[in-house]
A and B are shown apart, each in its own frame.
Chain A
Amino acid sequence: MAISFELTDNSRCARDFYRKMAVEQMRPIARRYDVEEHALPTEWVDYYWEHGRKGPPTDFSTPADGMVQVCIQVEELCWGDAALYLRMPTASLGGAAVGSAGTFKGDGPPIWGAMAITEPGAGSDTAAIQTTADFDGDEWVLNGTKIFCTNGEGASQFEGGFVVVWATVDKSAGRGGIKSFVVPAKTPGMKLVGLEKKLGIRASDTATLLFENCRVPADHLLGSAKVRKKDPSKTGDKGFKGAMATFDASRPIVAAMAIGIGRASLDLCRDELEKQGIRIRYDAPRCDLTVIERDFIDMEAELQAARLLTWRAAWMMNHGKPNNLEASMSKAKAGLAVTKITQKVVELLGPIGYSQKLLAEKWMRDAKVNDIYEGTQQINQLIVARRVLDYSSSMLR
């Protein structure tokens, strides 16, 4: 092996494929579905399901970048529009859970997946969730309220949808009692009770789901039903640990989403500056750089720093290396860097930055969520800190 930043032909091909999709299918409708907040972007959904999901042509006889390529694809799509990306008919986070914790086998490719962890009283502290799962006869019975569930509308209402719901089978067991369950769309007892109105990513549905005696078959529990009371993180328990492992896979993806938005902002900023005859000089002496040039160069460095951390976390997955630390590093860095970049671009562009004539203001709104979901900035800092200090979660909370 040798350090290399050369993309494989497959990655390049995928990048071009999704960039074209972003330019032709996403950008033209990005503003519209930001304004029409809860409307289903049918032309996008149909396009993606019929054409987009086939993916780029791949030459399997040549090398592939694996998860790095996935990050590149996600970056391109979110460069197009992050909210529409989230509104794609895919397994999304639900699929990651099913993949990581691993025993669910759906018939055919599931569409409209969602992951329901967060509750009104428990977000970052996932172990404090109150939704219960009781075994009754040969079924699990779910009771509780889930909020902020991305893709929750499609996953709970549309044919082919499914929601992965976190619930506790034994409150006294703490995190050892937490399991995830697959609830197919339209299962009686699962109700869509509302959609949030948000700062950004407005084309993405964020649902509140109510579970009232919602029954699913025994095999819809992901992983093992066994409850380990003692330190489940150190045992082979697939429940909480399996659920947590999904984050190691999904955090680099969320980081890549952020990076796509950040790059969209920077690209726009560069174009607008060039229209005014301003070019960023990389070879000018320090003292001659304008404030705009300085800010721009710093933003580019921050974005690339985030991108490389993300690719590293993804690359580790290709090699089966545990990447809990690196995944959180990438997410913490990308979430914050892109939040700042998109804000700065609004500032640099002045009045037109604030105007809805351009997408800069939208990207600023869209970007912020990446520093909140999939573990807030602080939660990812906690994870990194625990790892580098070699502290358990009870020593640093």
Chain B
Amino acid sequence: MIEFEPTEEQQLIVDTVRQFAANEIRPQAHDAAESRKLPENVLAQAHELGLVALGLDEAHGGGGDRSAVTGVLIAEELAYGDLAIALAILSPSLTGLPVTEFGTDPQKAEILPALVGPSFCAGSLALIEPDFRFDPFRPTTRAALDGGDYTLRGHKCFVPWLDSGDHVLVIAMEDDDPQAFLVPRNTKGLAATPERNLGLDALPTVEIELDDVRVPASARLGGDAGCDVHSIIDRGRIALAATAVGVSRAAFEIARDYAKEREAFGAPIATKQAIAFKIADMAIEIDAARLLVWEAAWLLDSGAKATREAVLASRQAAQVALVVTDGAVQVLGGYGYIRDYLPEMLHRNACGYTNFETLTLI
């Protein structure tokens, strides 16, 4: 039966995360971006909420709730607070979820306990490469068996790199098949250089060079069986799309409230159709994008392949985020361009959705 209402448990989670986003994350968003520093206390608090642990393997301390629908509900709310902080909070999932899904028992035992431990521990995913021709399903980074070990060669960028993490999941081509490898950050031959990007100022990310990085065969995610990188990418796209909806909603609310307050020519600007219609369109597009995300997530949960739906949802949500955050800058006029106000940052963050490809946040 067609239903548009989360379960009671999901709604409870949404309410909790929404409050957390509004009360704890949002107030820190501006300063975090300006200082390019994550608010450690917020990461710690979020860790205590157990949002990431919820989806990890039960046998290793996680909650075992692999519902993508629950995941997108959480992701939207966190990103509504702030995208950079949300990505940081969810970063343990970048390694934790693929390991939960595909990892061998020893891999789970190695990676997961730290992620659900007493303090926050970040994860990391190296997928994207600095090339406009980048194809997530066919990265140019290569993995080759050499003796009993794998050697990895290639170049990755936009790799989340928080202080607390110790592994990065590297996606590389092994013969004709993309596979994932668990690489300790301090492995010889791995060189990380901090990045600066258009947005996401508070989130530490790096470019990494993999220069004959050697890892044991046991570092291959899933062991002999390997893993399904396609499904990792689909899921990550849906997750990112959910955060795009959250960012859009943040921009929409700021624009809406500002438009009701700001007066020009003797009346609130929201009483002018040029502004009111923009705000109406924002509301429509945000709801539409959210429903596409929900549908794609629901499809994943039903066990179906969701490549097409993930593409539709993520393209649409990316477009909506761009238009809505741009619209918010416009509604605030000159103030929209000033960094004391959030819309310009939201807009810079939203611009990334056309470039990020995928992140396994849920």
**Contact surface of A with B, Cβ cutoff 8 Å:** 1-8, 11, 63-65, 68, 282-288, 297-298, 300-302, 304-306, 308-309, 311-312, 315-316, 326, 329, 332-333, 378, 381-382, 384-385, 388-389, 391, 395-396
Please state if A1 and B313 are interface contacts (CB–CB under 8 Å). Answer: no
Please state if A378 and B277 are interface contacts (CB–CB under 8 Å). Answer: yes
Nearest CB of chain A from residue B287's CB, rounded to whole Å: 6
Q: Which residues of A contact B7 (CB under 8 A)?
A: 1-3
Closest 8 pairs (CB-CB, A-B): A285-B135, A308-B291, A305-B288, A384-B280, A385-B280, A385-B276, A301-B312, A301-B316
Please state if A305 and B291 are interface contacts (CB–CB under 8 Å). Answer: yes
Tell me, yes or no, whether B289 is within 8 Å of chain A by CB.
Answer: yes
Q: Which residues of B contact A6 (CB under 8 A)?
A: 1-2, 302
Q: Which residues of B contact A396 (CB under 8 A)?
A: 270-271, 273, 276
Nearest CB of chain B from residue A36's CB, rounded to whole Å: 38
Nearest CB of chain A from residue B301's CB, rounded to whole Å: 9
Nearest CB of chain A from residue B265's CB, rounded to whole Å: 15
Cα of A154 to Cα of B64 in the assembled complex, Å: 61
Please state if A301 and B292 are interface contacts (CB–CB under 8 Å). Answer: yes
Tell me, yes or no, whether B256 is within 8 Å of chain A by CB.
Answer: yes
Q: Which residues of B contact A391 (CB under 8 A)?
A: 270-271, 276
Nearest CB of chain A from residue B320's CB, rounded to whole Å: 9
Please state if A329 and B284 are interface contacts (CB–CB under 8 Å). Answer: yes
Tell me, yes or no, whether B149 is within 8 Å of chain A by CB.
Answer: no
Please state if A389 and B312 are interface contacts (CB–CB under 8 Å). Answer: no
Please state if B256 and A308 are interface contacts (CB–CB under 8 Å). Answer: no
**Contact surface of B with A, Cβ cutoff 8 Å:** 1-7, 10, 69, 132-138, 230, 256, 259-260, 270-271, 273, 276-277, 279-281, 283-285, 287-289, 291-292, 294-295, 298-299, 302, 307-308, 311-313, 315-316, 319, 354
Cα of A110 to Cα of B312 in the assembled complex, Å: 43
**Closest A residue, CB atoms, query B252:** A388
Cα of A66 to Cα of B289 in the assembled complex, Å: 24
**16 other contacts beyond A5-B2, A5-B294, A283-B137, with CB at 8 A cut-off?**
A2-B5, A7-B2, A285-B134, A287-B132, A287-B133, A300-B312, A304-B292, A304-B312, A329-B284, A332-B280, A332-B284, A381-B277, A384-B284, A388-B256, A389-B256, A396-B271
Please state if B280 and A381 are interface contacts (CB–CB under 8 Å). Answer: yes
**Closest B residue, CB atoms, query A10:** B1
Nearest CB of chain A from residue B71's CB, rounded to whole Å: 12
Nearest CB of chain A from residue B328's CB, rounded to whole Å: 14
Cα of A245 to Cα of B69 in the assembled complex, Å: 33
**Closest A residue, CB atoms, query B297:** A3
The A interface, classified by DSSP as helix, strand, loop or mixed, is helix
Please state if B134 and A311 are interface contacts (CB–CB under 8 Å). Answer: no
**A333 and B288 in contact (CB under 8 A), knowing A1-B3, A3-B5?**
yes
Please state if B288 and A68 are interface contacts (CB–CB under 8 Å). Answer: no
- When the two chains form the complex, which single residue of A3, A286, A312, A381 contacts B298, counting CB atoms closer than 8 Å? A3
Cα of A64 to Cα of B1 in the assembled complex, Å: 7
- When the two chains form the complex, which single residue of B230, B270, B294, B307 contacts A3, counting CB atoms closer than 8 Å? B294
**A282 and B288 in contact (CB under 8 A), knowing A1-B5, A3-B5, A297-B312?**
no
Nearest CB of chain B from residue A13's CB, rounded to whole Å: 14
Cα of A384 to Cα of B315 in the assembled complex, Å: 24
Nearest CB of chain A from residue B122's CB, rounded to whole Å: 28
- When the two chains form the complex, which single residue of B6, B132, B287, B354 contacts A329, counting CB atoms closer than 8 Å? B287
Please state if B270 and A309 are interface contacts (CB–CB under 8 Å). Answer: no
Please state if B295 and A5 are interface contacts (CB–CB under 8 Å). Answer: yes
Cα of A388 to Cα of B277 in the assembled complex, Å: 11
**A285 and B133 in contact (CB under 8 A), knowing A1-B5, A3-B69, A312-B4?**
yes
Q: Which residues of A contact B137 (CB under 8 A)?
A: 283, 285
Q: Which residues of A contact B283 (CB under 8 A)?
A: 329, 384, 388
Q: Which residues of B contact A11 (CB under 8 A)?
A: 2
Please state if A68 and B2 are interface contacts (CB–CB under 8 Å). Answer: yes
Cα of A332 to Cα of B285 in the assembled complex, Å: 10
Nearest CB of chain B from residue A211's CB, rounded to whole Å: 34
Cα of A284 to Cα of B307 in the assembled complex, Å: 11
Nearest CB of chain B from residue A288's CB, rounded to whole Å: 7
Cα of A388 to Cα of B1 in the assembled complex, Å: 29
Nearest CB of chain B from residue A110's CB, rounded to whole Å: 30
Q: Which residues of B contact A329 (CB under 8 A)?
A: 283-284, 287-288
Q: Which residues of B contact A5 (CB under 8 A)?
A: 2, 294-295, 298-299
Nearest CB of chain A from residue B361's CB, rounded to whole Å: 18
Q: Which residues of B contact A298 (CB under 8 A)?
A: 315-316, 319
Please state if B288 and A283 are interface contacts (CB–CB under 8 Å). Answer: no
**Closest A residue, CB atoms, query B294:** A3
Cα of A120 to Cα of B315 in the assembled complex, Å: 43
**A381 and B302 in contact (CB under 8 A), knowing A389-B256, A389-B276?**
no
**Closest A residue, CB atoms, query B289:** A305
Nearest CB of chain A from residue B213's CB, rounded to whole Å: 24
Interchain residue pairs with CB less than 8 A apart (10):
A3-B7, A5-B298, A7-B2, A8-B2, A285-B135, A285-B136, A304-B292, A311-B2, A381-B280, A382-B276
Please state if B1 and A381 are interface contacts (CB–CB under 8 Å). Answer: no
Cα of A200 to Cα of B223 in the assembled complex, Å: 61
**Max count, chain B CB within 10 A of own CB: residue among A6, A305, A306, A316:** A305
Cα of A298 to Cα of B289 in the assembled complex, Å: 12
Nearest CB of chain B from residue A61's CB, rounded to whole Å: 14
**Closest A residue, CB atoms, query B5:** A1
Q: Which residues of A contact B294 (CB under 8 A)?
A: 3, 5
